[in-house]
């Protein structure tokens, strides 16, 4: 496999990977969530460990075994994921945001379980969550604070996949954006993935359909090239 030939090209490096999907509480028993399984983020964490990195895996609501050798930080909401990622990113060479972060959360959370009654239910009002990837990029652009050298985002797009991806990479100020093609049984909950990695320089690297480990190794290859 690819790993064997890589030696420890991430030895001495600290990388942060976020994985899974956030849950935004409505009340103590209900949440707004998404379909992310965490498989791609866990594959990234495993392959980084195999390549010698110190790995912090910020994991949101996944049902997968901890990758051996990684430090796992469990979170539930986007707010918690933000705090864990930003804290770990201070000492990181690279951050890979593979997690599906909820764009919105309920403005208010009921402290008690919402009960049904004869009346129609109240609407759930939503507010925007902070954009963690954009914040990492912005901190770096401003040259303020300590920030990782390499910032990697993920995006699942449907229609104009490449144009949307290119705009997103620029908007968020990341170095690499892994753009998944959603549909045809790819991406969510499946062992395989296919993607195009866009770079800040305007290049694109196509990754054919294959195991999420293979995609992870291509991502780390591209990250390694950007590290001094």
Tokens of 37: 């399984």
For the sheet with 176-181, list strands across it. Answer: 70-75, 54-60, 14-20, 94-97, 150-157, 176-181, 192-199, 204-211
CB of 28 or CB of 90, closer to ligand CTP? 90
Q: Which residues are annotated as a binding site for CTP?
A: 103, 113, 130-133, 154, 168, 172
Question: What would the x/- binding string for ligand CTP be over residues 117 to 146, using CB under 6 A?
Answer: ------------x-xxx-------------
Question: In the chain, what is the straight-line distance between the N-terminal and C-terminal CA atoms, in Å?
Answer: 26
Q: Which of 9, 103, 157, 192 binds Ca ion (CB under 5 A)?
A: 103
**Helix ranges restricted to H, the chain:** 2-5, 39-50, 78-89, 132-142, 161-172, 212-226
For residues 113 and 40, give the distance between their C-alpha atoms in angstroms, rounded to a whole number: 34
Residues within window 80-119 making contact with ligand CTP, judged by CB under 6 A:
97, 99, 101, 103
Tell me, yes or no, if 129 is annotated catalytic: no
Residues within window 166-205 making contact with ligand CTP, judged by CB under 6 A:
168
Going by C-alpha positions, the residue among 195, 176, 217 that lies closest to residue 48 is 217
Q: Which of 41, 67, 153, 173 binds ligand CTP (CB under 6 A)?
A: 153
Candidates 98-106, 164-172, 176-184, 217-225: pick the segment binding Ca ion (CB under 5 A).
98-106
> What are the catalytic residues?
34
Q: By CB under 6 A, name the binding residues for ligand CTP.
A: 78, 97, 99, 101, 103, 129, 131-133, 153-155, 168
């Amino acid at each position: 496999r690819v790993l064997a030939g890589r030696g420890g090209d991430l030895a001495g490096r600290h990388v942060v990977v976020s994985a899974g999907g956030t849950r935004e509480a409505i009340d103590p028993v209900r949440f707004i969530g998404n379909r992310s399984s965490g498989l791609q983020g866990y594959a990234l964490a495993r392959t980084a460990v195999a390549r010698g990195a110190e790995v912090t895996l910020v994991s949101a609501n996944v049902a997968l075994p901890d990758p051996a050798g990684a430090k796992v930080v469990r979170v539930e909401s986007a707010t918690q994921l933000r705090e864990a990622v930003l804290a770990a990113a201070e000492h990181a060479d690279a951050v890979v945001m593979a997690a599906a972060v909820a764009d919105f959360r309920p403005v208010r959370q009921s402290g008690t379980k919402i009960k049904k009654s004869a009346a129609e239910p109240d609407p759930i009002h939503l507010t925007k969550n902070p954009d963690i990837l954009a914040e990492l990029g912005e901190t770096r652009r401003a040259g303020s604070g300590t920030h990782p050298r390499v910032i990697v985002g993920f995006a699942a797009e449907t229609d104009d996949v490449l144009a949307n991806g290119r705009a997103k990479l620029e908007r968020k100020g990341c170095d690499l954006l892994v753009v998944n093609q959603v549909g045809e049984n790819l991406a969510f909950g499946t062992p395989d993935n296919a993607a195009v990695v866009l770079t800040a320089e305007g290049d694109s690297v196509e990754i054919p359909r294959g195991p999420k480990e293979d995609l992870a190794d291509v991502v780390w290859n591209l990250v390694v090239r950007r590290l001094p």
